[in-house]
C-alpha cells in the first residue's frame, strides 16, 4: 500500500501525542487543508520539545531514518531536522520551536482537525498563524516566494470573514508584517 503525506502526518502525530510533545502541522500541507488546495508532498510539523528530545530521537529512530547528529544540532539551535520514511520515500521536516512570538502562538492557537478516512485528529496551525508564518517566510525570501504569497492570499480569501482580525492585525504589526498583511488582504479581495 502506498503511503501519502497525510498518512505520514497521522503516523508522526500519533508518535508525538504518545510522547506528550506539543505540535502543529504547518507549511504547504496545512495551508492546503485550510486554504486553497495545492499539490505538495512537503510535511512540515512544528514541535515544542520541552524536555522530550531524547525520547523523541529514540522513538523516531525506531520508525524512521533520522540523521542523529543533524537532529541534535537542530534541536540545540531550534531549527529543523528530517524524519525519512524510507519504505515510501517520504520525508517530514520537524521545526523545533523556541520562545518567539510566532513560535508560542503557533502552539497556543493550534486547532484540532479530523480528516475522515485518513487521520483521526491532528493539530494544525490556525489560519491566522499560517498567514503570519507564511508572510514571515515570504519576507525572509526578499518577497520572492510566489508559493508562500499564493498560500497567504488563498487562506485570506477563504477564511477572511471568519478570521480573528484583531489578533491577526496586532500580531502582524508586532512582527513588522503589517504592510505585507494589508497588501495580501487587498490581493485576496481583488481576486
CA–CA distances in Å: residue 116 to residues 10, 24, 121: 12, 18, 9
Q: Is the pLDDT of residue 32 over 70?
A: yes
Give the separation between CA 121 and CA 88, rounded to whole angstroms: 22
Residue with the larger pLDDT of the pair 128 and 33: 128
| Largest separation between any pair of C-alpha atoms in the chain | 50
How confident is the model over 174-187, as pLDDT tens digits?
A: 999 999 999 999 99
pLDDT value at 42 more than 80: no
Q: For residue range 91-144, what is the model confidence (pLDDT) as tens digits?
A: 999 999 999 999 999 999 999 988 777 667 899 999 999 999 999 999 998 988
Instruction: Fold for 5-124, please state it.
Output: Beta Polymerase; domain 2 (3.30.460)
The domain ranges of the chain are 5-124, 127-190
41: confidence class by pLDDT, cuts 50, 70, 90 = low
Rounded Cα distance between 93 and 56, Å, is 14
pLDDT digits (tens, 9 = 90+) for 48-90: 998 899 999 999 999 999 999 999 999 999 999 999 998 888 8
pTM for the full model?
0.89
Q: What pLDDT shows up at residue 40?
A: 56
Amino acid at each position: 500500500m502506498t503511503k501519502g503525506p497525510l498518512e505520514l502526518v497521522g503516523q508522526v502525530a500519533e508518535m508525538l501525542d504518545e510522547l506528550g510533545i506539543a505540535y502543529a502541522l504547518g507549511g504547504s500541507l496545512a495551508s492546503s487543508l485550510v486554504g486553497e488546495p495545492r499539490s505538495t508532498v512537503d510535511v512540515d510539523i512544528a514541535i515544542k520539545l520541552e524536555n522530550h528530545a531524547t525520547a523523541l530521537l529514540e522513538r523516531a529512530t525506531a520508525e524512521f531514518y533520522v540523521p542523529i547528529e543533524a537532529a541534535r544540532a537542530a534541536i540545540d539551535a531550534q531549527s529543523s531536522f528530517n524524519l525519512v520514511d524510507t519504505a515510501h520515500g517520504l520525508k517530514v521536516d520537524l521545526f523545533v520551536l523556541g520562545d518567539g512570538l510566532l513560535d508560542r502562538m503557533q502552539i497556543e492557537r493550534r486547532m484540532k482537525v479530523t480528516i475522515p478516512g485518513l487521520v483521526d485528529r491532528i493539530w494544525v496551525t490556525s489560519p491566522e498563524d499560517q498567514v503570519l508564518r507564511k508572510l514571515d517566510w515570504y519576507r525572509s525570501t526578499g518577497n520572492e516566494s510566489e508559493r508562500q504569497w499564493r498560500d497567504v492570499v488563498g487562506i485570506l480569501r477563504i477564511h477572511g470573514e471568519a478570521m480573528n482580525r484583531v489578533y491577526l492585525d496586532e500580531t502582524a504589526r508586532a512582527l513588522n508584517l503589517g504592510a505585507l498583511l494589508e497588501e495580501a488582504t487587498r490581493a485576496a479581495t481583488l481576486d
